[in-house]
Copies of this chain bind each other. A is one copy, B any other.
Amino acid sequence: MQPAGPPADIPTPPWRASKKRPTARQPLSAEAVLDTALRIVDRDGLDGISMRRVAQELGTGAASLYAYFANKDELLEQLLDRVIGDIPLPSAEAADWIAEVKESCWESRAVFVAHRDLVKVARANLPVGPNSLRYTEAMLAVLRGAGIPDRVAAWGMDQLSLVIVADAIEVSIHISRGQQTEADAAPWLAEVSGYYANLPQDRFPNLVAMAPVMIEGSGDERFAFAIDLMVDGLARYVGSDGPNSGQVAA
C-alpha cells in the first residue's frame, strides 16, 4: 500500500508547495503579529501596512488581529515601542555626560531611520511602552546624575525626543522620495535653491540673498546643530534650581 503522501526524498510538486506559506504556520500571538507587521513596514513603509495585509501574510483574516490589538493605532504604537528597544541605553556612569547624551541622540535617530517611516507614528510625549520606559529611565539617570534639575530633565527629554523624531521623519521622507544618499537629494535641493534665487528681489531680499545657504549642510550637519543647540542649552541648567526660578547665566 502506498503511503498517503509522497516519500520525503521526492520533491514536493510546485503547485503543492505554492499553497504552503513560506514559514510554518505558528499559532497567532501578539508577538507573531508584530513580527509580520515590522517585516511589512521595513519592506513597504507605513503606507504599505494594513490590517488586511498583516493578516494575509499570517494566513488569516483581518478580524483575527483584533483579538490581540484594539485597533490599528495600538498595533503601530506597540510596533514602535518594539523598535525603540533596539536603541542602546545611555549610561549614567559615562565620564562625559554631554557626549553621552548626544551620542544617544544619534543612536536613536539611526534606529528610527532603519525602519522606514515607522517613526511617523510617534506622537504623545509621555512614554508608556516597556522599552520607552526603560529608555526614559536611563536618560533621566544621566541627566539627574549630571545635576540637572528634575523639571528641566523632564522637559528637556521631551524636547530632545521631539527633535530626534522630527529629524528622523524628515530623513525617512527623503528616503521614500528615492533620495537614499545626499547626492540623490542634490538635484532637488538645487531646484529649490534656484527657485529662491529667482524670487522678486524687492519683496524677498533675504531669501534671494540666502538662496545658496538655505540648502546648505547635510542632514547630519543640521542634526548635529540641532542636538548641540538643545543639549548645550540644557547643560546650562546644571546646578540651577529650575527653568523659571533661578535665572540662567546670560
Interface residues as binary, A136-171 with B (CB distance below 8 Å gives 1, 0 otherwise): 110011001000001111111011001101110110
Whether, in the assembled complex, A186 has its beta carbon less than 8 Å from a beta carbon of chain B, the answer is no
Q: Which residues of B contact A159 (CB under 8 A)?
A: 163, 225-226, 229
Whether, in the assembled complex, A85 has its beta carbon less than 8 Å from a beta carbon of chain B, the answer is no
Evaluate contact between B170 and A213: CB separation under 8 angstroms.
no
Binding site for B on A (CB under 8 A): 123-126, 128, 133, 136-137, 140-141, 144, 150-156, 158-159, 162-163, 165-167, 169-170, 173, 192, 195, 199, 203-207, 210, 213-217, 221-222, 225-226, 228-230, 232-234, 243-244, 248
Q: How far is the CA of A126 from the CA of B123 in the complex (A)?
A: 22
Question: A144-B206, A151-B216 are known contacts. Are A199 and B232 too (CB-CB below 8 A)?
Answer: no
Q: Shortest beta-carbon distance, A112 to chain B, in Å?
A: 15
Evaluate contact between B137 and A222: CB separation under 8 angstroms.
no
Evaluate contact between A214 and B126: CB separation under 8 angstroms.
yes
Q: How far is the CA of A96 from the CA of B196 in the complex (A)?
A: 28
Which of A156, A213, A244 has the most chain B CB within a 10 Å cutoff?
A: A213
Q: Which residues of B contact A225 (CB under 8 A)?
A: 152, 155, 159, 243
Q: Which residues of B contact A165 (CB under 8 A)?
A: 166
Q: Which residues of B contact A126 (CB under 8 A)?
A: 192, 214-215
Q: Shortest beta-carbon distance, A186 to chain B, in Å?
A: 14
Evaluate contact between A207 and B155: CB separation under 8 angstroms.
no
Evaluate contact between B155 and A210: CB separation under 8 angstroms.
no
Chain B residue with Cβ nearest A158? B222
6 closest A-B pairs (Cβ-Cβ)? A140-B206, A229-B233, A150-B213, A233-B233, A162-B166, A155-B225
Which of A128, A150, A155 has the most chain B CB within a 10 Å cutoff?
A: A155
Which of B166, B205, B210 lies in contact with A166, CB distance below 8 A?
Answer: B166
Which of B150, B155, B166, B167 lies in contact with A222, CB distance below 8 A?
Answer: B155
Q: How far is the CA of A187 from the CA of B124 in the complex (A)?
A: 16
Q: Shortest beta-carbon distance, A159 to chain B, in Å?
A: 5
Evaluate contact between B207 and A140: CB separation under 8 angstroms.
yes
Q: Which residues of B contact A123 (CB under 8 A)?
A: 169-170, 173
Question: A133-B199, A170-B124 are known contacts. Are A155 and B217 too (CB-CB below 8 A)?
Answer: yes
